[in-house]
């Protein structure tokens, strides 16, 4: 942490932006992120009343967060579980770079580094498209798990965890009584690929580049402009990547002006506006919902007071199935219909795939063959004419039915 001592204020279970720049916030989040889960071992196996064992979590020590056997223990592996699910939903060929926005003291970033570490090799090739010879290249990408937080004190703590592998913190017992405890890094973290920096989630720098996974937990309802964040985040995600949004939708005016809330209010007709419905509407132009489930979490205030919450975990993939950029004079003429199960522009998706709605003629046949080999990171595209679509599951099913197409195309050409 920095040499300047942050001001001691109230718990993070309270409200107000100053809370997250406090020493107490750093201590509470070190415990929230790195506290172990309780396990009861009997006759050589793990006997428990929650779901952690099924998820593969076997902490060796009793819980340092909540020492009560009747407590909801499954809330203690919140970050590990959400990251693991994010990684499982990310295609195997897309485990290069991950961005953890609102990383706090870094646990999720370290967890991401376990999964996003596959080397991508540079590839070059050529193909014929619309009678034009286009050169394409996959760039070599630096492998990283990048953690960003608006609080400099959180970022300093995350950097210290990376440098030393552990950090002492004070656990509030009651009143003025505290215990000194030690937070330790999770096993298996790939520290060489972990980077932390201070940043604003609503004004991310384009210099960050693109990522195969963008992870944002308990962040959305702490942003001053959540709508701006949602409409811009797609520009940081690679085709084939994943966006993980996990939020309890705890809207407070201390963080977000009420006219900026994207849920938790009533509309002009007095009907309640659900946050997820707004998120879905904002993201549906560029993303498809892959999965949605609840995730419990727990933040300890003192030994007899805890904040237990349930975040709405949603995972999204970009609708863009392929993007081709050529020289200005040979730019691919392509259709950007956002297709749904009912088709695009009142025409069945199959019509577009079969060429019936193709203004320039031609059909999706062997001459428009697409071959995708993810294991070797090789993509070949040959034949004319060739049209690419953005869309959801409907065009993917149609493409998959063709004998020449085995998988959804994942092609980035620059």
* 312, 286 Cβ separation under 8 angstroms: no
Q: Among 94-108, 161-175, 223-237, 355-369, where is mean pLDDT lowest? A: 355-369
Task: Give the model's pLDDT for residue 91.
Answer: 81
The one-character DSSP state at 347 is B
Higher-scoring residue by pLDDT: 19, 55: 19
How sure is the predictor about 21, in pLDDT bands with cuts at 50, 70 and 90?
low
The per-residue pLDDT for 43 is 30
The verdict on domain 17-318 having CATH code 3.30.1130.10 is: no
Instruction: Report pLDDT for 401.
Output: 29
Q: Where in the chain is the domain with CATH 3.40.50.150?
A: 17-318
Mean pLDDT of 313-328: 58
Query: Which tens digit of pLDDT belongs to each residue from 365-384?
Result: 333 333 322 323 333 333 32
Which one is predicted more confidently, 322 or 109?
A: 109
Spatial CB neighbours of 75, under 8 Å, sequence gap ≥ 6: 296, 297, 298, 308
pLDDT in tens, 40-50: 333 333 333 33
Residue pair 236/99 in contact by the 8 Å Cβ criterion: yes
Cα–Cα distance measured from residue 281 to residue 289, given in angstroms and rounded to the nearest whole number? 11
Comparing 403 with 246, which gets the higher pLDDT? 246
More confident residue, 203 or 53: 203
Position 35 confidence tier, pLDDT thresholds 50, 70, 90: confident
**pLDDT tens digits for range 270-312:** 999 999 999 999 998 889 999 999 999 999 999 999 999 999 9
pLDDT band at 63 (very low <50, low <70, confident <90, very high): low
If one compares 87 and 62, the residue with the highest pLDDT of the two is 87
Regarding predicted confidence, which is higher, 359 or 173?
173
> Could you give the angle at the alpha carbon of 94 between the alpha carbons of 398 and 122, nearest 5°?
105
pLDDT tens per residue across span 95-128: 889 999 999 999 999 999 999 863 333 333 333 3
């Amino acid at each position: 942490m920095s040499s300047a001592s942050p001001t001691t204020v109230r718990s993070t279970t309270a409200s107000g932006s100053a809370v997250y720049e406090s020493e107490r916030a750093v201590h509470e989040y070190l415990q929230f992120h790195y506290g172990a889960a309780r396990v009861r071992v009997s006759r050589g196996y793990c006997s428990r009343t929650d779901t952690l064992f099924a998820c593969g979590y076997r902490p060796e020590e009793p819980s340092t967060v909540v020492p009560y056997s009747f407590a909801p223990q499954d809330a203690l592996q919140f970050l590990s579980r959400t990251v693991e699910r994010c990684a499982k939903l990310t295609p195997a060929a897309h485990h290069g770079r991950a961005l953890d926005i609102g990383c706090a003291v870094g646990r999720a970033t370290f967890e991401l580094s376990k999964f996003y570490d596959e080397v991508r090799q540079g590839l070059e090739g050529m193909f014929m498209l619309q009678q034009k010879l286009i050169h394409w290249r996959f760039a070599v990408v630096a492998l990283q798990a990048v953690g960003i937080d608006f609080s400099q004190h959180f970022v300093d703590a995350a950097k210290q965890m990376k440098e030393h592998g552990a950090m002492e913190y004070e656990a509030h017992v009651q009143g003025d009584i505290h215990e000194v405890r030690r937070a330790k890094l999770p096993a298996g973290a790939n520290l060489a690929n972990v980077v932390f920096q201070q940043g604003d989630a609503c004004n991310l720098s384009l210099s960050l580049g693109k990522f195969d996974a963008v992870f944002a937990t308990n962040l959305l309802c702490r942003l001053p402009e959540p709508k701006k964040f949602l409409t811009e985040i797609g520009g940081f995600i690679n085709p084939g990547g994943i966006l993980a949004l996990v939020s309890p939708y705890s809207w407070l005016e201390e963080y977000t002006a009420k006219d900026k809330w994207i849920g938790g209010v009533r509309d002009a007709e007095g009907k309640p506006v659900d946050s997820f419905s707004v998120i879905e509407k904002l993201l549906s132009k560029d993303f498809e919902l892959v999965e949605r489930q609840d995730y419990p979490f727990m933040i300890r205030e003192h030994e007899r007071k805890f904040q237990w919450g349930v975040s709405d975990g949603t995972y999204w993939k970009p609708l863009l199935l392929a993007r081709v950029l050529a020289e200005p004079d040979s730019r691919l003429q392509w259709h950007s219909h956002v297709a749904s199960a009912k088709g695009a522009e009142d025409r069945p998706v199959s019509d577009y795939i079969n060429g019936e709605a193709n203004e320039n003629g031609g059909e999706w046949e062997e001459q428009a063959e697409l071959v995708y080999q993810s294991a070797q990171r090789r993509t070949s595209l040959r034949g004319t004419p060739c049209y690419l679509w953005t869309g959801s599951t409907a065009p993917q099913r149609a493409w998959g039915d063709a004998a020449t197409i085995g998988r959804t195309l994942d092609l980035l050409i620059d």
